[in-house]
């Protein structure tokens, strides 16, 4: 059983639920950014929730099934074609040997997950099949021509489902729940207020390591607006912070006052104060935000 990668699109990576437990020796957890989407794909196929699938950035993945294979696509929203026939997302579907699946360009969300019955069975590294893009650990990014092995499925029944209620990623503004971070007291009260009340926008320089945010400002030429030059999120304590451990969802603020939300491939330690931490229940949806998309933070 195997899958032939005909085109990986901009970036396709094997991901499972990551390799926890190695942060003290410099390796982060990594793993699927939208963990719920990968878990759902696996559940639809009767897999273990933590089986590996393919995380596809934006779309463009083209794969050929070398054998008859049950598969499911979850995560982002957009067109899916099996040969020339549209297939539904969030449902188990059967591909015959030789059929080609094309994951189109996402109309909402940034990351698709392709799960296959039996799971992607590349060799695990340190207990996980996840590609950690920062540490350079785990299976290399997929390339055209790669043959991905598919695991032997234990043979449990396929769940009988006609419809799964799924909250698909939205293209509009998203409310993200967050807790005050360990260094919230390093910021002025005005900065904390601003963090939880401003409209933020996902910057272009965002990846699996972190998502940069910029404030959506009222245009400077608008009537009554006084241009501001101080840092956006001003510090109450300005001394340097000794590097400290980081977690996924931590919102680090760099000296220019800009926040970066760390994702699964984050460095295990960092030297910028963490003003807030994205709530675990919001982290999957956060990881589906697209560059340019707007969000607000709400107290968890």
Q: What spatial distance separates the first Cα and last Cα of the chain, rounded to whole Å?
A: 44
Long-range contacts of 191-194 (CB under 8 A, 24+ apart): 191/232, 191/233, 191/234, 191/235, 191/236, 191/257, 191/275, 192/275, 194/232, 194/233
CB of 265 to other proteins, least distance (A): 12
Question: From CA 164, how far away is CA 161, in angstroms rounded?
Answer: 7
CB of 22 to other proteins, least distance (A): 7
Report the residue number, 131 or 153, with the smaller CB distance to other proteins: 131
Write out the two tokens for 70. 């049950």
- Residues of this chain that interact with other proteins (CB under 8 A) are 20-27, 125-126, 135, 137, 179-183, 242-245, 247, 249-250, 267-269, 274, 277-281
Nearer to other proteins by Cβ, of 22 and 213: the residue is 22
Q: How far is the CB of 170 from other proteins (least distance, A)?
A: 23
Residue 18 or 75 having the CB closest to other proteins = 18
Q: Provide the b/e sequence for 76-100 (b: ≥16 CB within 10 Å).
A: bbbebebeeeebebbebbebeeebe
- Is the Cβ of residue 61 or residue 264 nearer to other proteins in the bound state? 264
Nearer to other proteins, 60 or 181 (CB): 181
């Amino acid at each position: 059983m195997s899958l032939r990668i005909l085109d990986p699109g901009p970036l396709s990576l094997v991901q499972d639920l990551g390799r926890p437990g190695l942060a003290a020796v410099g390796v982060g957890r990594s793993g699927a950014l939208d963990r719920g989407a990968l878990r759902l794909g696996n559940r639809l196929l009767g897999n273990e929730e933590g089986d590996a699938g393919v995380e596809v950035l934006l779309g463009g993945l083209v794969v050929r099934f070398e054998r008859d294979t049950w598969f499911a696509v979850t995560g982002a929203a957009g067109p899916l074609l099996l040969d020339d026939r549209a297939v539904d997302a969030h449902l188990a579907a059967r591909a015959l040997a030789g059929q080609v699946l094309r994951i189109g360009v996402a109309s909402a969300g940034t990351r698709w997950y392709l799960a296959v019955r039996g799971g992607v069975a590349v060799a695990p590294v340190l207990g996980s099949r996840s590609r950690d893009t920062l540490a350079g650990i785990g299976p290399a990014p997929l390339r055209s021509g790669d043959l991905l092995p598919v695991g032997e499925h234990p043979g449990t029944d396929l769940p009988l489902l006609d419809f799964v209620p799924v909250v698909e990623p939205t293209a509009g503004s998203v409310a993200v729940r967050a807790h005050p971070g360990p260094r919230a007291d390093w910021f002025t009260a005005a900065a904390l207020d601003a963090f939880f009340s401003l409209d933020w926008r996902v910057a272009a320089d965002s990846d699996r390591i972190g998502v940069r945010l910029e404030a959506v400002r009222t245009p400077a030429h608008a009537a009554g607006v006084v241009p501001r030059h101080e840092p956006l999120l001003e510090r109450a304590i300005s001394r340097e912070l000794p590097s400290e451990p980081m977690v996924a969802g931590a919102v680090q603020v760099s000296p220019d006052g800009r926040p970066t939300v760390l994702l699964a491939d984050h460095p295990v330690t960092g030297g910028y104060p963490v003003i807030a931490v994205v709530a675990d229940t919001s982290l999957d949806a956060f990881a589906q935000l697209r560059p340019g998309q707007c969000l607000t933070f709400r107290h968890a």
